[in-house]
Structure formats: C-alpha cells, structure tokens
Amino acid sequence: MNRAMADHIKILAFDVFGTVVDWHQGVMREVRSMNLGVDPDKFALAWRAGYMPAMQKVMSGQLDWTSIDDLHRMILDDLLDTFHVTHLNEGQKRHLNKAWHRLDAWPDAVAGLTRLKSRYTICTLSNGNIGLLANMAKRAALPWDCILSAEVFRKYKPDPATYLGVAQVFDVTPDEVMLVAAHQDDLAHARAAGLRTAYIERPMEYGPSRQKDVSAHPDNTFHAKDLIDLASLLNC
C-alpha cells in the first residue's frame, strides 16, 4: 500500500517548527547570548507555550489577523515581565523576537528535504509568516520549492482552509498532498481535510526535560524517525 501511495502523492507540505527546525535549542541559544539572567530552557518553553493561546485569540475573532511575528512579540513582552527582565531596550527586544527567524535545522533536515525534493514538490505549511519562513530558509539552507503560510490563507492551522489551500495552490486533489509533521494533532486535522500524513519523530523537540512520546499512530500513512528515513520510505 505504501509504495502505491508514494506514487500517488504529488506534494509534500511540511510543518516547520519542531518538524524541520529545532526551535527549543535555537531559542535557548538566543536567550543565552543576550544574558537575560533567566533559565533559557524555562524561557523557551514558556515562549512556545504562549503560542496556541495567542493564536486562538485570532481564530476566535478576539484579534484581527495578526502575524506570528506579532503574536511572538506579544508573548515576549508578557514573558519579560513574568521573568523580571527589565534591561532590554526596544532594539534588543526586536532582535530577540526574531530569534524564531534564526533557528537551526535538525541535522537530517537539509539532506532529507533535498532527497524528497528529487521526487516531490516540497513546500512549507506553517503558521509562521512568510517573511519569517523565508529568512529561516535562507539562513538554514532549506531547499523549499514554495513557501506557503497560514498568512496566505488568512487562517491558522488547524482551520481546514490551510490544508485544503495547499491542494488548491497546486491544483491537485487533497489526497495527493501529504502533510509531514512531528505533531499528531496537526496530522489528525490534515487527515480530516482529506490529506495523507507522515509523522516524524522528534523526541527532543522540547528538550531533555520534556521528552515526547513518539509512538506510531495507525492512521498516519507513514511513520519515520527523521526526514532521511522518510525519504527512504518514499524511495527517494
């Protein structure tokens, strides 16, 4: 079944934060470099934890459309108060907020994406805004064919419009698109919209203090340890 499915799929759409890039280590590095006087692990986890509640304000209509860069800044301003960081000027805050533009790829990511690109069209499907994703790709040498973002559709995942939007952009059927992600909830919403799904294990996404359960889920089309493993499964 998987060989036939590999032939049927035309587009691989990738979640980015956690799946392709290591946000936890990247944010910790930036926090250390700015000498904030806080625990970098706790600060990084708290910043990420604010992401869904902030995004929910947009999805519920409490906020008008707001980019992830701007949501990250809202969360950051609250965190600086919570962690009693008072010495940063506006330029330093702006620089720190763009830590999310400067994340490193997981060690397998560039090689894995390059192999997958040899057979499939590969694109992002991230809630990150286009400028953020483009800067990240440039810095980390991520070889996307196309950068798609929730910003294109003005809907954040898990709204079905984001998943179906990929199929519409490339003029294919939803089941010819496969979402590749390290998050089972994202994959479940993609399947509900008719996409195929591939789960990527990232047990260290949240660092050693919060290792993830990376057990297989029977509804995913593919389950891979990393992107090189996925390329092998798809005969790339």
Domain end residue (candidates: 58, 77, 101): 101
30-60 confidence digits (pLDDT tens): 999 999 999 999 999 999 999 999 999 999 9
Are 208 and 122 in the same domain? yes
Are 12 and 32 in the same domain? no
59-90 confidence digits (pLDDT tens): 999 999 999 999 999 999 999 999 999 999 99
Strand partners, 123: 13, 146
Q: How far is the C-alpha of 86 from the C-alpha of 107, rounded, in Å?
A: 35
pLDDT at 40: 96
**CB–CB of 150/126 below 8 Å?**
yes
The 8-class DSSP code of residue 129 comes to -
Q: Which helix (H) or strand (E) holds 13?
A: strand 11-14
Number of domains in the chain: 2
DSSP, collapsed to helix, strand or coil, labels residue 88 as coil
User: For residue 209, what is the domain's CATH number?
Assistant: 3.40.50.1000
Whole-model pTM: value is 0.96
User: For residue 55, what is the domain's CATH number?
Assistant: 1.10.150.240
Are 18 and 118 in the same domain? yes
**DSSP string covering 146-199, please?**
EEEEHHHHT--TTSHHHHHHHHHHHT--GGGEEEEES-HHHHHHHHHTT-EEEE
pLDDT at 4: 81
- Give the residue numbers spanning the domain of 166: 2-22+105-233
Are 202 and 177 in the same domain? yes
Domain end residue (candidates: 101, 133, 159): 101
